């Protein structure tokens, strides 16, 4: 059986900032004795990632001595240049790239038009790869074998993407077992092996009870989201209360939404 983590052609390793994609990166480094010259690790920061996620990405690059390109959406004069490179210290932490995109679009991403992933993550990565001479490349995405629905949807994606973890039969217990043995880890709330703060902290595609729990834990998380809804005069998710209303809910009301399912956004794990 061939090694799914072996780099055989120009490849972008899409690092979401979660444990699963970080484990994928580690497997790539092991299989290739480091990062090959034709492989690039990219982390796209929306400005709404939790500080623990940013620290985790930084810990991976320093502990493993691997270069990680930090990218952000930037509303430059030329459409083709709407990205910029940042570092851990200079990365946006108050939603600036996301807010810039909303101001440009003049409407909010929502469950029917999820343009945030495309504009804030996929396009900046693609444009960056093109800028360094990789117009055609394979993208490694951190999706596990125990996420069959996500794997199936990814295979139907028009872009060339590979899911080496799924091909290798990696499941959540493998990922958690790996991180239990490391000298650093992602310091966020975890439920069933998944970080509730992965990707944007209060992403509108997350389960409502998870959002309520995160808001109850730190109410200031909801301020930016509520401000964006108020500014545009709309909601990120019409199927549930606004972020201002979520801030008012008591912890005891979290159970009202316990059976709701999250919607995969393909930002990563």
User: Which token pair is 67?
Assistant: 């270069």
Residue labelled with tokens 């590979």: 162
Task: Provide the mean pLDDT of the chain.
Answer: 88
pLDDT value for 141: 94
- Quote the CA–CA distance of 21 and 161 in Å, as a whole number: 14
**HEC per residue, 120-159:** HHHHHHHHHHHHCCCCCCEEEECCCCCCHHHHHHHHCCCC
Confidence of residue 195 (pLDDT cuts 50, 70, 90): low
Question: What domain range is 232 assigned to?
Answer: 202-250
Whether residue 245 sits in one domain with residue 119: no
Whether residue 231 sits in one domain with residue 101: no
- Quote the CA–CA distance of 207 and 194 in Å, as a whole number: 13
Q: Is the pTM of this model over 0.75?
A: yes
Whether residue 217 sits in one domain with residue 157: no
Question: How do residues 73-106 score in pLDDT, each as one tens digit?
Answer: 997 666 667 899 999 999 999 999 999 999 999 9
Question: How do residues 159-180 score in pLDDT, each as one tens digit?
Answer: 668 999 999 999 999 999 999 9
In this predicted structure, which of 84-93, 228-237, 255-264 has the lowest mean pLDDT? 255-264
Whether residue 66 sits in one domain with residue 130: yes
Question: How do residues 118-168 score in pLDDT, each as one tens digit?
Answer: 999 999 999 999 999 999 999 999 999 998 888 887 766 656 689 999 999
* Count of domains forming the chain: 2
- Packing angle between helix 221-232 and helix 208-217, nearest 10 degrees? 120
Q: Which 3 state secondary structure label does DSSP give 71?
A: strand
- Quote the CA–CA distance of 83 and 76 in Å, as a whole number: 8
- Quote the CA–CA distance of 65 and 71 in Å, as a whole number: 19
Whether residue 239 sits in one domain with residue 110: no
Question: How do residues 99-120 score in pLDDT, each as one tens digit?
Answer: 999 999 999 999 999 999 999 9
Residue 127: Cβ within 10 Å count: 15
Whether residue 54 sits in one domain with residue 172: yes
The burial class, CB within 10 Å (0-12 / 13-18 / 19+), for 258 is exposed
């Amino acid at each position: 059986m061939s090694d799914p983590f072996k780099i055989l052609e120009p490849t972008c390793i899409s690092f979401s900032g979660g444990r699963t994609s970080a484990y994928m990166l580690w497997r790539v480094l092991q299989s290739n004795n480091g990062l090959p010259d034709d492989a690039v690790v990219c982390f796209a920061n929306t400005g709404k990632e939790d500080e623990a996620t940013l620290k985790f990405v930084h810990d991976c690059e320093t502990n493993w001595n691997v270069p990680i390109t930090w990218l952000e959406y930037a509303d430059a004069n030329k459409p083709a240049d709407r990205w910029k490179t940042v570092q851990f210290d200079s990365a946006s932490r108050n939603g600036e790239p996301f807010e810039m995109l909303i101001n440009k679009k003049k409407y909010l991403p929502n469950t029917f038009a999820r343009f945030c992933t495309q504009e804030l993550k996929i396009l900046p990565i693609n444009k960056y790869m093109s800028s360094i001479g990789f117009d055609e490349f394979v993208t490694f995405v951190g999706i596990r074998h125990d996420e069959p629905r996500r794997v199936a949807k990814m295979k139907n994606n028009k872009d060339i993407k590979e899911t080496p973890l799924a091909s290798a039969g990696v499941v959540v217990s493998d990922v958690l077992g790996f991180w239990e043995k490391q000298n650093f880890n992602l310091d966020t709330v975890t439920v069933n092996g998944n970080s509730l703060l992965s990707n944007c902290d209060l992403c509108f595609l997350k389960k409502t009870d998870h959002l309520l729990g995160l808001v109850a834990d730190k109410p200031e998380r909801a301020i930016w989201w509520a401000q964006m809804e108020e500014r545009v005069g709309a909601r990120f998710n019409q199927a549930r209360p606004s972020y201002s209303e979520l801030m008012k809910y008591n912890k005891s009301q979290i159970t009202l939404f316990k059976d709701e399912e999250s919607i995969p956004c393909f930002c990563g794990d």
